[in-house]
Chain A
């Protein structure tokens, strides 16, 4: 926990030194996608369940938050609460189906992927509500209450920087607390040997469902912020590529480590900007770097420095 806080402090003072909008924007995307990756790491790196649903949860987070703000005229955070309720319900239904039928590994991945596609098709084809392929422009901004200055709209790059950094920090602190608690220990037990976990009295069904739900709620949080930051929500948020990106971030940074997903998010969001090549070449080089890194560092960047963090 202490080392986590020490790692985060430099990020809080960074905008005082660096004024480049490009750097801050890359970091905002890093933080927002980092939240998605940290969420995925809880269900995959923690409980060992290869879900493909997190992009759908990400998309549901942005769509439902925005649509409920439009329909009910409520502020961003209340709109997000509606999204949480829906994501929790959806996760419980899908998780219940998958875990009751004891789907594991690739079977679980394929079925969750099918459910995610189902959600994407709803976003794509329910044009009267979601505006279909065209997506929706989001002109509303989240507001927060700050002591001294009252209610503030989050508009400028620096405000977004701090909002997304605080959100990421909160999620990271939560994930440290979670992974070192009995819940995290039970997740590890399920990942490493589910049959043994059961004979030790762990209700593996319940804990897998919990891991799946927590990670989807975190993904929806990332999605809600992401949609409002970019000012645009489209069905591609729910696409499989979005899920794969988060998986690549976790693999790259280090599975089952706390900071790994964030490191992975940083590499994957900044790399395309660092490679100064024509766009088509850039994607190919980017893909090759990704493949090489995953082959050469099977435990990710963070894994070079420490062994995976388990229940200790």
Chain B
């Protein structure tokens, strides 16, 4: 089991944003987490990525508890998160973004002495550049690589977030509403990128409130409502679950 979440809980004062959520993800799997706005999806992802400290519960990554660890420690362990509202270095170009994101890949290059690459960066740099180009191509951004982040469309910004995450060589990629705010063409584009990632063998954890979008990809789905897990299983079974129908439509169809 790659990632195992046990009784994860987050309280903000009196509000319980995530309540006693448990699930598990195995390698190569795509897990979809959905729920209406305010159901605690983003909080859950932030807990996994270390952006928020949990109030209780455990997050086991390859058997080791990473709950409450600092985000950079979690990232270097292979858990990478993208943001719902793209977080960028606005004055840099797309290519520079991906090069900054190459840091983890760089630290993992065993045959490259850090001090040699400080004085003669050429060889290391060309390897990282090649990888950066591949990550951009994967996210269909190769033509935008010299654009500044401030000139990108919203859809391109989101894809740049994915490209940076891919550059970190994630073992599991946590995608926070990748489809929100995208036009139809861009969603189409995103779907093909996600298909590529799946073919790549990357484990994905996607949260979204667009149920139909998730159901197409996920091997396993979890439905959240008010911070609680209300259903779990294969996507279409979860969608048909009376509790889920009730949460989404406000009444029971049963």
> A residues within 8 Å of B by Cβ?
177-178, 180-183, 185-186, 188-189, 192-193, 195-204, 308, 310-312
Structural contact, B168 and A201, CB atoms closer than 8 A: yes
Query: Looking across the interface, which residue of chain B has its beta carbon closest to that of A189?
Result: B100
Is the Cβ of A189 less than 8 Å from the Cβ of B80?
Answer: no
CA distance A32 to B244 in the complex (A): 70
B75: which A residues are within 8 A, CB to CB?
A: 198-201
The size of the chain B interface, using a CB distance under 8 A, is: 31
Given known contacts A193-B88, A196-B89, A204-B72, A177 and B103 CB-to-CB distance under 8 angstroms = no
A266 to B238, CA, bound (A): 70
Is B44 an interface position by the 8 A CB rule? no
B: which residues have CB within 8 A of A?
49, 51, 70-72, 75-76, 80-81, 83, 87-92, 96, 99-101, 103-104, 106-107, 114, 117-119, 121, 164, 168
Assess whether B89 is in contact with A188, with CB atoms less than 8 Å apart: yes
A181 touches B117 (CB 8 A): yes
Q: Is the interface of A mostly helix, strand, loop or mixed?
A: helix
5 A-B pairs with the lowest CB-CB distances in the bound complex, closest first: A201-B75, A192-B89, A201-B104, A198-B71, A196-B87
How far is B101's CA from A198's CA once the two chains are assembled, in angstroms?
10
Point out the residues of chain A lying under 8 angstroms from B92, CB to CB.
Answer: 188, 192, 310-311
- What CA separation (Å) do A200 and B89 show in the bound complex? 12
Measured between beta carbons, the chain B residues less than 8 angstroms from A308 are: 91
CA distance in complex: A180, B120 (Å): 11
- A307 nearest CB neighbor, chain B only: B91
Contact A185 B88 (CB under 8 A): no
Given that A201-B72, A310-B96 are contacting pairs, would A186 and B51 also be in contact in the complex, using a CB cutoff of 8 Å? no
CB distance from B171 to the nearest CB of A (A): 12
Q: Name A188's contact: one of B71, B100, B106 (CB within 8 Å).
A: B100
CB distance from B106 to the nearest CB of A (A): 5
- Give chain B residues whose Cβ lies under 8 Å from the Cβ of A197: 100
- Taking A185-B103, A201-B75, A312-B96 as contacts, is the C-beta distance between A192 and B164 under 8 angstroms? no
Decide yes or no: A199 and B96 within 8 Å by CB, A185-B103, A192-B89, A192-B91 being known contacts: no
